[in-house]
Amino acid sequence: MKNVTFYKFDIEPENNLRLDQLISSRLPEYSRSTIKNWINAEKILVNGKICSPKDKISSKSEIEIEVHPCEDIDILSEDIPLNILHEDEDLIVVNKNSNMVTHTAVGNYSGTLQNALLFKYPELRDVPRAGIIHRLDKQTSGLLIIARTLKAHNNLTKQIQNKLITKKYITITSGILNNVTVIDQKIGRHKINRKKMSVTDSGKESTSRLKILRRFDKASLIEVDLVTGRTHQIRVHLSFIGHPVVGDKLYGFKKSIFSKNTKLVNFLDSYNGHALHAMSLEFKHPSTKEKFFIESPPPDEFLKIQSLIEKHSYADTN
């Protein structure tokens, strides 16, 4: 079974959709007929049990899928520039730009990192999700690991599941952050706005470790070490404690906090992003088994926001 990849995810009931429709919405790179064939061939289990494409779920359920090499991926390859920081026979590390979607999804079938990877590395069609083993939000920039082989994919996926990959981010938050070193709050889907996540007792365990790098007049520069990797985790956690990421309107950022900083307000009006960057990764290389570390500085837009805040800061920055 070494040439087979297994992965899991949770789905929830939505608009009375059938099982094949729900799974297809999570894996848009595969056709609906492919999903149906997998279900009929018992390659997909729901809560550990075989199922039918027409089945409907009544509560959150765990999906397990068995993916074989050379399954047809129904997405286009596109010649989109990529910033490749590392490349070897097993893996690629990409420095993703802000405003690029990681995976294809409903409403985003082109212009994604996945489209770009399949153009530059056609062999990734033989690896689940074009080798992408973790993701970054559209407006978040920074480092992503891409597995080039099934063996590397399985190894790196297990490292993520076992929390053996260290992911550190740098961000600028609204307001002055004081004496907060850990945020340990469960995260789940928002009950009303399904595009958002929220802190909820029914969510999954989520932990973020914080290190304050600088304090400004109305903002803080911090490093975040993700202990877990939930959807929108950093953004949700920082919003929960009242310090949303600068530029992150979805989770409560209001530019009025910088109303006296005209240049910054004007820049944020023109910049459709937020100040969050995945700056470093550390893991065990799947072949050499040696520690692999890589980092990248924040992009120009991030540094521009930081510079404009610094110029209007009168707080103690020690």
5 in helix, strand or coil? Answer: strand
> What number does CATH give the domain 84-161?
3.30.2350.10
Q: What is the DSSP letter of 250?
A: G
Q: Which CATH superfamily is domain 5-67 in?
A: RNA-binding S4 domain (3.10.290.10)
Q: What is the pLDDT of residues 31-76, one digit of tens each?
A: 677 788 889 888 899 999 999 999 999 899 999 988 765 454 567 8
Single out the residue of 97, 150, 94 nearest to residue 127, CA to CA.
150
More confident residue, 179 or 78: 78
Buried b / exposed e along 109-141 (16+ C-beta atoms within 10 A): beebbbbbbbebbeebbbbbbbbbbbbbbbbbb
Q: For domain 166-311, which architecture applies?
A: 2-Layer Sandwich (3.30)
Q: Look up residue 152 and give its DSSP letter.
A: H
Task: Give Cα separations from 109 to 2, 72, 134 (angstroms).
Answer: 30, 16, 18
Q: Which helix (H) or strand (E) holds 210?
A: strand 207-215
Q: Where in the chain is the domain with CATH 3.30.2350.10?
A: 84-161, 166-311
Burial of 290 (0-12, 13-18, 19+ CB in 10 A): exposed
The verdict on whether 137 is a catalytic residue reads yes
Strands 141-147 and 276-284: parallel
What percent of the chain stands above pLDDT 70?
92
Catalytic residue (one of 90, 126, 137, 217): 137
pLDDT digits (tens, 9 = 90+) for 139-172: 999 999 999 988 898 899 889 888 999 999 999 9
Q: Where in the chain is the domain with CATH 3.10.290.10?
A: 5-67
What angle is formed at CA 259 by the lines to CA 255 and CA 262, rounded to 5 degrees?
100
Q: Identify which has the larger pLDDT, 1 or 185.
A: 185
Q: Do β-strands 5-11 and 84-87 pair in parallel, antiparallel, or remain unpaired?
A: unpaired
pLDDT per residue over 190-206, tens digit each?
888 878 999 999 888 99
Terminal CA-CA length for the chain: 55
Given pLDDT bands bounded at 50, 70 and 90, which one contains residue 242? Answer: very high
What kind and span of H or E run contains 304?
helix 300-311
What is the pLDDT at residue 165? 96
